[in-house]
């Protein structure tokens, strides 16, 4: 098990590997990809810390791969069509509201979030339930910091995330009636875990539309469907929220959705995965490689009964 290792700002070097050149440094027994700490939007907005946990046979996925093969059902179920369709997503103005079981609702725009809570860079694996995966350098703010700034009531036990519903812009919301808006949920404990992020950029740039501009959730130990794109609302709730995928197909997409190579999807195995841009299939890691950090959250929970 490779444990994720936080890297200090002083260790961050700017090799711009995402433009083709890659550099790796041996550090703490693991090979860590050192990323460009480039400004995401404002010059000077340097992410505070890089968090990398790559094994020796892993490298950051090419930007072109991650931005041209996307799940974003609001636009299309055709992953290769999403990038062009999402050109009409207007990431500004945008507000993320936090409401529900809170003493007072708040709403922040993406720049407020970055300024208030400070950008961090995290290199995480992203494992889609469909069997493909990527390694992405995200920039964003820890979700725990954002929630920590809000006073919630004693009834708050779950967090629901909501994406936009606007068929005039999102072509995929026009035809077949699906349970829009796209929603997802976490327990409060999961949402407060330091690995969970609200992301506003990737590869040292603002988040591309097709990847969920201007703000998305990233929960690296869960299947990608939990990492909701283009967040508009964060709602604190007392009861467990029902997600878009639970409404579509509850036996296939559970509330927890933790990456687990031993629990097959009803229609395929989850034991292996293919990184975007690669051909060989590699073993899928329990909790997507973050078991050391998160397994304690699920002690005593049977993943077969609570997928």
What residues make contact with ligand MTE under the rule CB under 6 A? 66, 70-74, 126, 128, 163, 182, 211-212, 224-225, 227-230
Q: Which is nearer to ligand MTE, 227 or 233 (CB)?
A: 227
Structure tokens at 305: 């009964």
What is the SS3 assignment for 138?
A: strand
Give least dist CB 234 to ligand MTE, A: 14
- For residue 294, which of 198, 191, 141, 215 has the smallest C-alpha distance? 191
Using only C-alpha atoms, the chain has a radius of gyration, in whole angstroms, of 18
Does residue 259 contact residue 287 with C-beta atoms inside 8 Å?
yes
Q: Please, which residues bridge with residue 230 across strands?
A: none
What is the SS3 assignment for 293?
A: helix
Distance of CA 13 to the CA centre of its chain: 24
Q: Which is nearer to ligand MTE, 156 or 228 (CB)?
A: 228
Give least dist CB 207 to ligand MTE, A: 9
Structure tokens at 132: 């493909």
Q: Which is nearer to ligand MTE, 46 or 160 (CB)?
A: 160
Give least dist CB 28 to ligand MTE, A: 28
Which letter, b or e, does each residue of 33-49 get, where b requires 16 or more Cβ atoms within 10 Å of its Cβ?
bbbbbbbbeeeebbbeb
Residue holding tokens 């051909």?
279
Q: Which is nearer to ligand MTE, 24 or 73 (CB)?
A: 73
Give least dist CB 27 to ligand MTE, A: 27
Q: Which is nearer to ligand MTE, 5 or 81 (CB)?
A: 81
Q: Which is nearer to ligand MTE, 46 or 228 (CB)?
A: 228
Give least dist CB 45 to ligand MTE, A: 22
Q: Which is nearer to ligand MTE, 125 or 229 (CB)?
A: 229
Please give the Cα distance from 27 to 216 (Å, whole number).
Answer: 30
Please give the Cα distance from 35 to 38 (Å, whole number).
Answer: 9
How many alpha carbons lie under 13 Å from residue 194 in its C-beta half-sphere? 10
Distances (CA, A) of 164 to 46, 129, 302: 29, 22, 33
Please give the Cα distance from 119 to 272 (Å, whole number).
Answer: 33
Q: Which is nearer to ligand MTE, 63 or 225 (CB)?
A: 225
């Amino acid at each position: 098990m490779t444990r994720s290792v936080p890297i200090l700002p002083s260790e961050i070097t700017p090799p711009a590997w995402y433009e083709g050149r890659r550099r790796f440094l041996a550090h703490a027994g693991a090979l860590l990809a050192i990323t460009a700490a480039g400004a995401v939007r404002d010059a000077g907005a340097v992410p505070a810390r890089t968090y990398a946990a790559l094994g020796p046979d892993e490298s950051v996925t090419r930007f072109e791969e991650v931005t041209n093969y996307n799940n974003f059902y609001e636009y299309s179920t055709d992953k290769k069509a999403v990038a062009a369709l999402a050109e009409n997503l207007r990431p500004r103005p945008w507000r993320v509201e936090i409401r529900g079981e809170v003493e007072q609702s708040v709403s922040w725009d993406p720049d407020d979030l970055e300024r208030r809570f400070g950008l961090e860079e995290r290199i995480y694996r992203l494992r889609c339930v469909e069997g493909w995966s990527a390694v992405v350098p995200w920039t964003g703010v820890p979700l725990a910091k954002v929630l920590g700034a809000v006073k919630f009531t004693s009834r708050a036990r779950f967090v629901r995330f909501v994406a936009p519903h606007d068929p005039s812009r999102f072509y995929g919301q026009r035809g077949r009636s699906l349970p829009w808006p796209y929603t997802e949920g976490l327990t409060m404990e999961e949402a407060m875990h330091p690995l969970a992020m609200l992301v506003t950029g990737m590869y040292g740039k603002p988040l591309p539309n097709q990847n969920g501009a201007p703000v998305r959730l990233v929960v690296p130990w869960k299947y990608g469907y939990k990492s909701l794109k283009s967040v508009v609302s964060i709602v604190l709730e007392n009861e467990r929220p029902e997600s878009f995928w639970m409404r579509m197909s509850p036996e296939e997409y559970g509330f927890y959705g933790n990456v687990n190579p031993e629990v097959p999807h009803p229609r395929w195995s989850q034991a292996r995965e293919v990184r975007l841009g690669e051909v060989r299939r590699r073993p899928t890691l329990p909790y997507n490689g973050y078991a050391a950090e998160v397994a304690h959250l699920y002690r005593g929970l049977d993943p077969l009964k609570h997928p």
